[in-house]
Amino acid sequence: MPLQPYDLCVVVDDDADILLAARLLLRDLFAEVMTLSSPQAILELMATRSPDVILLDANFARGATDGAEGFAWLGKMLLRDPDAVVVLITAHGGVQVAVSAMKQGATDFVSKPWSNDRLLATVRTAAALRASRRATTVERGKMTTIATAPSETPLLGHSPAMARVRSLIEKAAPTDANVLILGENGTGKEIVARELHRLSRRAAGVMVSVDLGAISESLFDSELFGHVKGAFTDARTDRIGRLQAADGGTLFLDEVGNLPLHLQPKLLTALEQRQVTPVGANRPVAIHVRVISATNLAPAQLGDEARFRQDLLFRLNTVEIDLPPLRERREDIPVLLRHFLDLYARKYAKPSRVLPPEVLAELIGYAWPGNVRALRHAAERAVILADGERFAASDFPLARGAATASSAGQPGVPATPDLNLDRAERLLVEQALKKHAFNISNAAAELGLTRGTLYRRMEKHGL
């Protein structure tokens, strides 16, 4: 006997003949067809099991035709399991009752006496809906786990520049206004996004992050909008997209400036219409999200129609927050350093060391081209490699004394070549990043690397 595609169907009716007929008809579709004469029993069953489909009679009392009992039990079932799939069984001619039941949460209805083909088709569709809801719940759970990963870096700093940023966050967060965060790589744009979410009315929901610069064009639709089973070769199950996963919460679009121009209209349409259509689906799904975006592009680059659609920009930047680079808020470096040094001392079970004034002065005077991210990596390295009770300047991986021009007149090449491959690689990566104002895509192209590879090199060298 072939395996049945679904697990459990429960039929609730006070007519023994109806129960027998339903069980015989549906036994090839479900591994188990359970028949109950009392609706109270289904509530007890739902405490331990989760039926794929429940077939529920609309009336149990003798002579009743208004469906009031069925409505009441339907409400109790949906209260126990909001995703329950209930098909109402109505008396012949009780279509109005069935319509009312669907308004109250029933998935569908069948009329007595039923057509076997009609009943099979209705129950098969209902079971598929239940499977889809379960898959969506699993996917949303996965998204939530990723989305709620805590950050090791709080929003630290008391400089005037950070005071302005905090003021904007406090004003914008309680609203549903879309926010665009500008700033160089490593300045903490995602931290600001998380703070906006934390202080918003959506804080109880999830914040789903999407790195638009890391999603391949071929997977763009599936990743953002989801897909249904069979939409393409590897679509073995239904899968919700990032926009639907963020429903009721916050959607963080990181690196939005790197989204290819020809894909921008798709994002704009979804945000304007507040709905997405999964790949392979026929019907759109409504979404209600608050959008926070971030980019390292300068305002002039964002204003270039050849690079970024202005109608999409207007949709994203109701409020604009410009994060200052670390070199413009050097007074925040001591508190950031202390936080990271203490954090990694605890993480690696290392002793707390003294940071001498002369070392702190050198760290404050450094340009930090990788901003707070680079400072964090430098602190981590120092905690791991330092000896003794005090930190030394050499514990921190700073580019010291590199020449900016060679005797051959080639910018960026040291006069005396450094034959250490690791240091030479760091220097080339740093120069490419500076040349392209820390635009990852352009720097990666000049270096002959993929974006992902460049990110790994930046992590490696503390950039």
Predicted confidence pLDDT, tens digits, the chain (463 residues)? 455 678 899 999 988 888 999 999 998 899 899 999 888 888 888 888 889 999 998 887 676 667 788 888 888 888 888 888 999 888 755 667 767 777 788 888 888 888 888 899 889 888 888 877 776 665 555 555 444 444 556 789 989 999 999 999 999 999 999 999 999 999 999 999 999 999 999 998 889 888 887 788 888 888 889 888 777 766 667 778 889 888 899 999 999 998 999 999 999 999 999 999 988 888 888 999 999 999 999 888 998 988 999 999 999 999 999 999 999 999 999 999 999 999 999 999 999 999 999 999 999 999 998 899 999 999 999 999 999 999 999 999 886 543 333 333 334 434 444 556 667 778 888 888 887 777 787 787 777 777 777 877 887 777 7
Report the alpha-carbon distance of residue 437 to residue 407 in Å, rounded: 26
Cis peptide before 2 (omega within 30 of 0): no
The CATH number of domain 403-463, selected from 3.90.1150.10, 3.40.50.300, 1.10.10.60, 1.10.645.10? 1.10.10.60
pTM flag (> 0.75):
no
Q: Please choose, from the candidates 114, 109, 61, 116, the residue with its C-alpha nearest in 3D space to the C-alpha of residue 85.
A: 109
Alpha carbon 368 to its chain centroid, in Å, reads 30
Two domains, one topology: 160-324 and 403-463: no
Scored b (16 or more CB within 10 A) or e, 135-152 reads ebeebbeebbeebeeeee
Any residues with CB less than 8 A from the CB of 204 and at least 6 apart, and which?
none
For residue 34, the 8-state DSSP code is: E
Domain extents in the chain: 6-134, 160-324, 325-398, 403-463
pLDDT at 105: 85
Architecture in CATH for domain 6-134: 3-Layer(aba) Sandwich (3.40)
Return the CATH superfamily for domain 160-324: P-loop containing nucleotide triphosphate hydrolases (3.40.50.300)
Do the beta carbons of residue 321 and residue 168 sit within 8 Å?
yes
Q: Please choose, from the candidates 452, 391, 447, the residue with its C-alpha nearest in 3D space to the C-alpha of residue 424.
A: 447
What token pair was written down for 398? Answer: 């700073």
Q: What is the dihedral of CA 440, 207, 222, 254, to 10 degrees?
A: -10
pLDDT at 409: 37
CATH of domain 325-398: 1.10.8.60
pLDDT at 412: 41
**Residue type at position 40:** Q
Report the alpha-carbon distance of residue 144 to residue 199 in Å, rounded: 18
For residue 407, the 8-state DSSP code is: T
